[in-house]
Amino acid sequence: MASKTDKRSATYNQLESGTERSRPILHQNAREIQPYGKIAKLPIALDEKVCAASAENLNQVLADTITLRDLYKKHHWQVAGHTFYQLHLLFDKHHNEQDELVDTIAERIQSLGAISLAMAADIAETSIIPRPPRGREEVPAQISRLLEAHELLLKEARTMARQAAEAGDDGTNDVLVSDVIRTNELQVWFLAEHLVDVPVVRADEAKAASSGG
């Protein structure tokens, strides 16, 4: 007489019978099909050396954009004070816009036949934006830190846009100018206005009188 264990095994075998081709093939490993830093030549009418130079530049911009994006999320969570609600929303809006840039930059790198950076450890090793403290900072320090990160990113983006234009890589130039530079410039404007020292409720009549206003 068959035991309960034997009966269960038979039932499992019946359930699995005929499913071999539909089972996921797990725990697979293989060599990379394209090492980082190498170009897979695509028919985009650009020399491989141009593609490689643009991809290297874009990966730097990508690392710094990811870092700036995450810095916005950090401050979105940690902002405090009477402007909490406004800045909480603004920081998240800017975070989402930077996240769109991340995808745009990464896709441009891939369209050049290169490999984009992706993992946090690689981003941390590559980014030139200084690492912030883990704890919470006061709002002016948060905004100043973000503005300094924007400025670093804009400087490199402008230099790399000129290099792409000189090399005839109009697509990379367009991404850097139309997307990266313009988005970051607009975000700088929105941030910088929060650091202007103006009265909140009543105009400063004494200062206005002394300045002849």
Does the pTM surpass 0.85? The reply is: yes
pLDDT attached to residue 20: 79
Q: Is the pLDDT of residue 4 over 80?
A: no
pLDDT attached to residue 6: 58
pLDDT attached to residue 203: 85
**Which of 73, 56, 64 lies closest to 128, judged by CA?**
64
pLDDT attached to residue 2: 53
Domain ranges of the chain: 48-195
Torsional sign, CA 189, 191, 195, 201: positive
Q: Is the pLDDT of residue 206 over 70?
A: no
Q: What is the mean pLDDT of the chain?
A: 92
Mean pLDDT on 57-67:
98
Quote the percentage of the chain above a pLDDT of 90. Answer: 81
Cα 141 to Cα 143: distance, rounded to the nearest angstrom: 5
CATH 1.10.20.10 correct for 48-195: no
Q: Is the pLDDT of residue 159 over 60?
A: yes
Q: Which two tokens stand for residue 110?
A: 């891939």
Q: Determine whether 147 is exposed, middle or buried from the number of CB atoms within 10 Å of its CB (0-12, 13-18, 19+).
A: middle
What phi, psi does 24 have (nearest 5°)?
-60, 140
Residue 49: half-sphere exposure toward Cβ, Cα within 13 Å:
2
pLDDT attached to residue 194: 95
Mean pLDDT on 153-162:
98
